[in-house]
Copies of this chain bind each other. A is one copy, B any other.
Amino acid sequence: MPDYDPNASEHQSWVPVDPESDFPIQNLPFGIFEKPGRGVRPGVRIGDTVLDLAELKLAEGNTLNGLASCAREIRRRVSWLLNAANSELRDDAALQSRSLLPIAAVETRLPFGIGDYIDFYSSLEHATNVGKMFRDPANPLLPNWRHLPVGYHGKAGTVILGDRDIRRPHGQLSKDNQTSVVGPSRRLDFELEVGFFLNRSTALGESIPVASAEEAIFGLVLLNDWSARDIQRWEYQPLGPFLSKSFATSITPWVIPLDALAPFRVAGPAQDPPVLPYLQQQGARNLNIELEVWLQPLGETAPMCICRTNFSGMYWSVAQQVAHLTSNGASVRTGDLCGSGTISGSEPDSFGSLLELTWNGARPIHYPGGAERTFLEDGDRVIIKGACVGAHRIGFGDLSARVLPA
């Protein structure tokens, strides 16, 4: 299969895949799953079926860290194995019965052993909205923002799978910015983000140039950077967010290979002023991923879409983030996770957090059943969806979790 391209839209699989599925043969995301009696294994998802990579002797291990460096080859091999034109596995009922599992029969696990988790702040519209609300409406963007992808380190140990419900955190809250009380956060929020995992480790002192930075990215997930706005406001000066974010960060379990997103490249916004040479990236640097947030308040019969936006509008690209992250010689490790920062568009219904959608609580969201929301209440369900849509569809699956009482 010398010229085989796993991204070709004409490929069909002999595994049944719903035409609306997020996971056609062109996607083939990697994940870690457990099946009682079979242990924890790496797999690839197609439609509502999981291919057991250990059973096929294509990979092993209870994280994706070990296979990250050869994921491209494995995806190509798996694509051909699942291709309707190839009889190898298609006509081997015994091997199929060992290596294919219905998605409902497995439990997903965290895909990677995560070394460091870094969160960026790369949406111009989000940074502008926050600056307008909390600093200077006339001059909302800090002077450094257009010169470097602002980021900070988050807590790797509380990155969890998206289907785990979220306990409302306690913390210090201050009304007067002088004294504080302890209590459950009253301004719990989501943040719509895309995350990516690194596929290699570097040595201390080594930088990854922007031109090859995408080669260091394994793939992408949807990410919800849960945030307690009231805790954040009191604690974050001068060293940044801490307990307001560290209680949980949710990700989707199936990691979409960056290769699968190649057909959905787009230019991204102009960068003005020009960025420094180490951040200058040639070609289409962004990805056209349609994103939605749905919120179902407790008591409402259905979720409502409260945000529609697109990853293509991000000011700083994933490659620029990787180049910046390593520009000081800091080493990275396979499984390091980077978040994009909240993804907001320019329209009021394209903002990626309740903070922005309700303008810090001033503009509640109204539901047909009577519910009104500024921030998240106990029992609310947040659902984040993402997909690339073109000649075929590459989706991420739903990131869906409920808020539990403190």
Structural contact, B170 and A328, CB atoms closer than 8 A: yes
| Chain A 196-227: CB-based contact to B (< 8 A → 1; otherwise 0) | 00000000110100000000000000000000
Structural contact, A204 and B144, CB atoms closer than 8 A: no
Structural contact, B148 and A235, CB atoms closer than 8 A: yes
A185 to chain B, nearest CB (A): 8
Cross-chain contact of A156 among B115, B160, B244, B246 (Cβ < 8 A): B115
Q: In the complex, which residues 142-171 of chain A have their Cβ closer than 8 Å to any Cβ of chain B?
A: 142-144, 147-148, 150-158, 160, 167, 169-171
Q: What band does the interface of chain A fall in when counting residues whose beta carbon is under 8 Å from B?
A: 35 or more
Structural contact, B238 and A239, CB atoms closer than 8 A: no
Structural contact, A180 and B246, CB atoms closer than 8 A: no
- Closest B residue, CB atoms, query A277: B182
A121 at the interface (CB under 8 A from B): yes
A368 to chain B, nearest CB (A): 33
Structural contact, A182 and B278, CB atoms closer than 8 A: yes
Number of copies: 2
Cross-chain contact of A331 among B158, B239, B329 (Cβ < 8 A): B158
A171–B148 Cα distance when bound, in Å, is: 10
A169–B247 Cα distance when bound, in Å, is: 32
For A115, the chain B residues whose CB sits under 8 A away are 156-157
A234 at the interface (CB under 8 A from B): yes
Contacts A157-B332, A240-B152 given; does A144 touch B276 at CB 8 Å? no
Structural contact, A153 and B155, CB atoms closer than 8 A: yes
Structural contact, A144 and B174, CB atoms closer than 8 A: yes
- Closest B residue, CB atoms, query A121: B239
A243–B152 Cα distance when bound, in Å, is: 9
Contacts A172-B276, A182-B277, A204-B167 given; does A327 touch B156 at CB 8 Å? no
- A residues at B contact (CB < 8 Å): 115-116, 119, 121, 142-144, 147-148, 150-158, 160, 167, 169-172, 174, 177-182, 204-205, 207, 228, 231, 234-244, 246-248, 273, 276-278, 324-325, 327-333, 336
Excluding A153-B242, A158-B331, 18 further A-B contacts by CB distance (< 8 Å) are A116-B157, A143-B178, A144-B234, A144-B235, A148-B172, A148-B180, A148-B235, A150-B235, A150-B238, A152-B240, A152-B241, A153-B155, A157-B336, A158-B330, A167-B205, A169-B329, A239-B240, A243-B324
